[in-house]
Amino acid sequence: MNFAVVDWVILFLYLAFSVFIGIRAKRYVEDMEAYFVAGRRVRVALGSATLIATEIGIVTFMYLGEIGYLTGFSCFILGIIGAVAFFIIGKTGFIVSRLRKLKVITIPEFYELRYGKGVRLLGAVILFMGGVLNMGVFLKFDGLFLGEVMGFGVSKSVLFVIMTVMLIIVISYTVLGGMFSVVITDFMQFVVLSFGMFITTFFILKNVSLFDVANAVLNYYGEEGINPVLNPRFGWEFLLWMLIASVTTSGLWQPVTSKSLSSKDEIVGRKIFTYTGLTLAGRYMMPMFWGVCALSVFGPGVNSQIAMPKLIAQVVPTGFLGLLVAGMLAASMSTYSAYLLAWSSVATRDIIQLLFKKELGERSSINMTRVVAVLIGLYLLFFGLFYEIPTTAFQYIAVTGAMYTSGAFGCVAGGLYWKRANSTGAYVALIAGAIGPLAFLVLSLFKDFIPKSLYFLLDVNLSGFLSFILASIGMVVGSILTGGINPPKEVNFEK
């Protein structure tokens, strides 16, 4: 085992402190707006810290490290694309400003305002499915990372124990304190995870020379390791898909958007995106670089999912490992808490409440959200243990995200900026956006039985890219063809 007593002490103190602070935040929860969007009182620096912390977890380190190990420097382009997307949103307020003005809590609420209840229900079901499938692999990757770095190994029983302990800790405070707990613990976790990233980068740079890293990329991957367009895992379709997905996901992904909806006003909401954009290239490239360093140290023959944590276990000395694992756990817990709250609030407010056709009171709504968060936690545990993903973790997360974001982009962007967008267009966009990614996920389970003529459906990049195009065409064609018999609803954004 790599962990010494001092590492355990640091880790235990940190976890205990996190839970204590998170549960204490419960006293600020007075009403529904306080629970779901922290009373809409979040300012720029705090909002940026919580958004950065939400979007960094062990799973992010793992999939970015894996893609760095498999593709060399060429994956660094994804960091630049991500940063550009956040800048575009920050500068223009695209989507987030208007949603904030409407004071909605979840995106499906906007569907009802603009299109009607049916669209809200369908949109919420697709959002919930894409969201929990997307989150389904988080716990497993966390278990792989911690098992490898702490030296326990990565057997199923070890994964089960690590995953269960993490879930219990996060659920306990998210369920009780809602967005207040998420914001307060995210801030603390942001500080600890930044420190953990600094330690890791320092020890890796101390042990691996930049010259060796560059040589390893050129020796093993040649030009493909430098030029993303030539790399067979990427190519121009993937890069274009990522650019579109980054701009749309940034404004539409409920855990991210909820940070802007919690902000003091729409200008603060935009600034949160700009400041986060400044850090985005670094937060992508650092773990990618750790993965590239693992390639330089171990060569290309190691299991790509555990090459990066294996390197960390080798170069970070005892004593610092406790701090590092605390930092990484901080990163993950902040992601889980925000995602659990986001998906459970969508399930409660936009699915359960609509199906039962009666307004839940504020207390019942909060309690129902708590129950759903626990159920999602149980699903994560079993899905993570038994499901094998059909592609790299990065691409799996991108394609499950696209299941929702591609349709949502048509509905939300159309609804906010195009007067002729109507409910028929919204239904077509939501269904067309979900079909490609869903086909990829289902067919991947039966790939031995698929005729060769349908192999193109197993191309993850193509299915993700096509989903955006189909959803946008669906919104435009559906609205234009039925505009006469199904006139669009109007929403006043300036009130």
Partner 1 sequence: MSAGAIFWIVVYLISAVLFFVVAGIITFVGLIDLKFLTRGQKMQSSKNGNS
Residue ranges binding partner 1 (CB under 8 A) = 27-28, 30, 34, 38-39, 41-49, 52, 73, 76, 79-80, 180, 183-184, 187, 190-191, 194, 197-198, 201, 210-211, 213-215, 217-218, 223, 226-227, 275, 278-279, 281-286, 289
Return d(Cα 390, Cα 446) in angstroms, integer. 11
Provide the 10 A C-beta neighbour count for residue 486.
Answer: 16
Asked if 268 and 43 count as a contact pair (C-beta separation under 8 A), the reply is yes
Q: DSSP of 174-189, one letter per residue?
A: HHHHHHHHHHHHHHHH
Query: And the tokens for 297?
Result: 């140290």
Return d(Cα 267, Cα 43) in angstroms, integer. 10
Place of tokens 């650092």: 286
Return d(Cα 483, Cα 420) in angstroms, integer. 7
Terminus-to-terminus CA distance in the chain, angstroms?
61
Distance from the Cα of residue 286 to its chain's centroid: 17
Identify which of 208, 77, 203, 124 has the alpha carbon closest to the alpha carbon of residue 407: 124
Least separation in angstroms between CB 191 and partner 1: 5
Query: And the tokens for 269?
Result: 């909401």
- If you count them, how many residues does the chain have? 495
Q: Give the 3-state DSSP-derived string for 131-146, with helices as H, strands as E and coil as C.
A: HHHHHCCHHHHHHHHH
Buried b (16+ CB within 10 A) or exposed e, 390-399: bbbbbbbbbb
